[in-house]
Amino acid sequence: MELSNAIGKFDDSSELGLAVSREALEACVLLLSPITPHLCHSLWEALGHSGPAIEATWPVVDESALTRDSIELVVQVNGKLRARLEVPASADKASIEKLAMEHENVQRFLEGNTVRKVIVVPGKLVNIVVSG
């Protein structure tokens, strides 16, 4: 279901985007073929394949595709969402904290206040505690 929902939301009509959509559709058809063989056989043929889908090899996980180059973190000031940051996945706490403190919208909420504590939860969020 998650793959099916992701395919429905995916909107990229470039050549690479169409290739990704096709690969995802083929994976869906193959994964559903033991449950709905007749329907998947027709879909498999509509995707341009010969032979039954039930006899095709299952999709193989590409571990390298699962690694992310960057992640999105939320930045909070006193527990309220103030920014979203795109940071390298390999970024350390110090660089994440620096990027969060330099963000334009975060700066607005830091002006005139004293930073008491900065909590960095790698891969999730940065919470800046201030008092005025």
Contacts of 98-105 with CB under 8 Å at 24 or more apart are: 100/73, 100/75, 100/126, 100/128, 101/128, 103/75
Measured between alpha carbons, how far is 87 from 99 in angstroms, rounded to an integer? 8
pTM: 0.56
CA count, 13 A, side-chain hemisphere, 7: 16
Residue-level pLDDT at 115: 93
pLDDT tens for 107-116 read 999 999 999 9
Q: Is the pLDDT higher at 41 or at 66?
A: 41
Measured between alpha carbons, how far is 72 from 123 in angstroms, rounded to an integer? 8
Q: Which fold has domain 70-131?
A: Ubiquitin-like (UB roll) (3.10.20)
Work out the percent of the chain whose per-residue pLDDT is above 90: 71
Domain coordinates of the chain in residue numbers?
Answer: 2-66, 70-131
Class of domain 2-66 (CATH, top level):
mainly alpha
